[in-house]
């Protein structure tokens, strides 16, 4: 490994799961969710239209870490390819200490290649009993707390629910009665936020980072932190609630999360609790902000802050009935693809410096990795699909009009481990400053639907323009979509594609073997 040079810039990448742009103070939000980041934004480059390359997590991070579109290697593969060059591997080869601390997101794990390039990789997945799903637990699994579930009760409920939904007008009544029964049983317990919380809170992650920083000496480092505090189910810390003047109790929070997660309710009934859900979500954001302030104070005390690039962004946003939906199922609406992005570089964009420009054109997170590597004076791999915009950031008037930001996903792939879901219809969003085109393709890449939005006149994306309107704008965005699809084809037969498919097949065979052993292995009498 090359000698470590203490004079080089270190790099911290902070990714906050589910953080939508319009819930940050420095992006205009009125609730004090990000007081520390608001101060940091005054000495940072702020991208007011940062756009993810895919939604949800498994479609977002290939672009953030490896500057690659998520579907470039095919719809049937997830994560990074084994040995795929990324931010961590480049910086480790350049002599950096590298570490990742993540709050138990199952898609950011060695299983999906994200440990490549890290000297230290702690994902906390061994500490938590998690499903292989980046979405909240399915409503049918969440209304009844695990403490009072039993196999025979679960089977009985499934049978009754199935029967009731076959009889007209009884299904909804049964769902409501069962929900109330579960809540009554839950009320017999005295929960706490700490026991209900599904993921480790931000203070746990920062504690790990602080311990690691104290162990590596003075050399340059790359530290990636991923926080899950704003992720559903929404169980913020009590301290975070107090910071926002929220007196929510754990019992009430449990009820709200169970109600919010019901699949049998329409948005008209869910709206009654929308504000309370957002308040808990906001408290999760505030706790991350509080812990980032603590981390930066640690860096200041150790004299590392003046030589550290600090970047904060998100993998996607979160929906609160904006389009009658919840959470972040694969979709390309603005509340999900528009995320915050700030980049603080020592000695650049200091308070009062005219170079501190807020970049308003759409900026794809595909360009983040090469731009950060250039800012750290590190080499940029030729395989990266994104562009290095660091030279443009350094010069006030040298910002070109970037190409449209493109986001993509597989529609309805809420759990890509389920057979067939990962091979569903492909969706593309082509995002310009004013216009946004959303396309849905079938298996033969033929367009099934297209919706063009004028975001200036219709920022909520409620009224797609008529197919005969804005022909020139529509043609321009369609051409960008075509070029994007063409650029993906050469990667489908690449070594990286084959390695990813092999990993996927190996995983399925391993899972099948384990299932078979569990099914046919006789119980041992003790």
What's the average model confidence in pLDDT over 243-263? 92
pLDDT computed for residue 357 by the predictor = 63
Q: 473, 8, 31, 376: which is closest to 230 by C-alpha?
A: 31
**If you search the block for the tokens 């839950």, which residue do you land on?**
186
Q: Does domain 10-145+189-517 have CATH number 3.40.720.10?
A: yes
Provide the residue ranges of all domains of the chain, joining segments of one domain with +.
Answer: 10-145+189-517
Please say whether the dihedral angle defined by the alpha carbons of residues 256, 152, 148 and 526, taken in this order, is positive or negative: negative
Are 350 and 43 in contact by the 8 Å Cβ rule? The answer is: yes
Q: 11, 292, 229, 284: which is closest to 103 by C-alpha?
A: 229
- Burial group, residue 382, by CB count within 10 angstroms (0-12, 13-18, 19+): exposed
pLDDT computed for residue 355 by the predictor = 44
pLDDT computed for residue 473 by the predictor = 95
CA 423 vs. chain centroid, Å, equals 21
Query: Average pLDDT of the chain?
Result: 84
| Global pTM value | 0.87
- For 291, phi and psi rounded to 5 degrees? -75, -30
Are 74 and 81 in contact by the 8 Å Cβ rule? The answer is: no
The lowest-confidence range among 170-184, 335-349, 364-378, 459-473 is 170-184
Please say whether the dihedral angle defined by the alpha carbons of residues 511, 513, 514 and 515, taken in this order, is positive or negative: positive
pLDDT computed for residue 523 by the predictor = 32
What's the average model confidence in pLDDT over 150-172? 68
Q: 105, 48, 97: which is closest to 217 by C-alpha?
A: 97
Cα–Cα distance, 43 to 34 (Å, whole number): 15
Are 198 and 126 in contact by the 8 Å Cβ rule? The answer is: no
- Residue-wise pLDDT tens digits, 84-100: 999 999 999 999 999 99
What lies within 8 Å, CB to CB, of 163 at 6+ separation is none
Helix %, strand %, coil % for the chain, to 5?
40, 15, 45
DSSP string across 172-196: HHHHHHHHHHHHHHHTTS---HHHH
By DSSP bridging, strand 221-227 and strand 10-16 are parallel
DSSP string across 318-358: -EESTTS-EET-S---HHHHEE-EEEEBTTBS-TT-TT-PE
pLDDT computed for residue 494 by the predictor = 67
What's the average model confidence in pLDDT over 393-402? 73
Q: Given a cut of 80, is residue 54 above it in pLDDT? A: yes
Q: Given a cut of 60, is residue 6 above it in pLDDT? A: no
Are 126 and 133 in contact by the 8 Å Cβ rule? The answer is: no
What's the average model confidence in pLDDT over 444-454? 89
Q: Given a cut of 70, is residue 354 above it in pLDDT? A: no
pLDDT computed for residue 359 by the predictor = 83
Q: 524, 522, 526, 445: which is closest to 489 by C-alpha?
A: 445
Using 50, 70 and 90 to split pLDDT, how confident is the model at 131? very low
Q: Given a cut of 60, is residue 139 above it in pLDDT? A: no
Cα–Cα distance, 526 to 513 (Å, whole number): 25
**What stretches of 150-294 adopt beta strand conformation (E)?**
221-227
3-class SS of residue 276: helix
Are 295 and 262 in contact by the 8 Å Cβ rule? The answer is: no
In sequence order, the β-bridge partners of residue 247 are none
């Amino acid at each position: 490994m090359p000698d470590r040079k203490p004079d080089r810039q270190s790099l911290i990448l902070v990714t906050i799961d589910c953080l939508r742009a319009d819930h940050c103070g420095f992006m205009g939000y009125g609730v004090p969710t990000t007081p520390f980041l608001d101060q940091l934004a005054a000495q940072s480059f702020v991208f007011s239209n940062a756009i993810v390359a895919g939604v949800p997590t498994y479609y977002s991070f290939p672009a953030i870490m490896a500057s690659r579109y998520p579907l470039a290697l095919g719809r049937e593969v997830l994560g990074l390819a084994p040995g795929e060059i990324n931010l961590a591997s480049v910086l480790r080869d350049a002599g950096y200490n590298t570490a990742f601390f993540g709050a138990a997101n199952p898609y950011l794990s060695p299983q999906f290649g994200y440990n490549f390039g890290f000297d230290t990789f702690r994902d906390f997945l061994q500490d938590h009993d998690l499903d292989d799903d980046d979405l909240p637990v399915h409503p049918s699994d969440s209304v009844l707390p695990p403490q009072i579930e039993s196999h025979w009760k679960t089977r009985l409920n499934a049978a009754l629910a199935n029967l009731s939904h076959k009889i007209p007008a009884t299904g909804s009544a049964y769902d409501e009665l069962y929900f109330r029964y579960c809540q009554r049983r839950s009320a017999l317990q005295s929960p706490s936020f700490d026991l209900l919380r599904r993921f480790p809170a931000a203070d746990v992650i920062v504690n790990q980072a602080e311990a690691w920083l104290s162990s590596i000496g003075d050399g340059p480092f790359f530290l990636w932190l991923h926080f899950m505090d704003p992720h559903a189910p929404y169980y913020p810390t009590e301290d975070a609630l107090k910071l926002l003047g929220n007196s929510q109790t754990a019992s009430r929070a449990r009820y709200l999360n169970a109600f919010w997660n019901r699949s049998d309710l329409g948005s008209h009934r869910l709206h009654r609790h929308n504000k309370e859900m957002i308040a808990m979500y906001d408290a999760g954001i505030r706790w991350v902000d509080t812990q980032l302030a603590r981390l930066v104070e640690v860096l200041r005390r150790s004299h590392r802050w003046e030589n550290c690039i600090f970047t904060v962004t998100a993998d996607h946003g979160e929906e609160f009935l904006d389009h009658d939906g919840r959470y972040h199922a694969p979709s390309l609406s603005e509340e999900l693809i528009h995320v915050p992005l700030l980049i603080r570089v020592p000695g650049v964009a200091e308070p009062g410096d005219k170079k501190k420009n807020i970049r308003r054109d759409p900026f794809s997170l595909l360009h983040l990795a090469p731009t950060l590597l250039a800012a750290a004076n590190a080499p940029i791999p030729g395989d990266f699909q994104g562009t290095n915009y660091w030279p443009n950031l350094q010069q006030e008037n040298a910002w070109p009009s970037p190409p449209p930001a493109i986001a993509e996903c597989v529609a309805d792939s809420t759990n890509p481990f389920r057979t067939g879901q990962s091979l569903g219809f492909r969706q593309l969003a082509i995002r310009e400053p004013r216009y946004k085109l959303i396309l849905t393709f079938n298996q033969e890449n033929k367009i099934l639907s297209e919706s063009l939005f004028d975001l200036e006149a219709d920022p909520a994306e409620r009224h797609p323009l008529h197919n005969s309107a804005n022909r020139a704008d529509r043609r321009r965005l369609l051409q960008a979509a075509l070029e994007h699809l063409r650029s993906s084809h050469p990667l489908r037969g690449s070594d990286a594609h084959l390695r990813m498919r092999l990993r996927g097949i190996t995983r399925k065979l391993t899972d099948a073997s384990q299932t078979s052993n569990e099914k046919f292995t006789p119980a041992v009498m003790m």
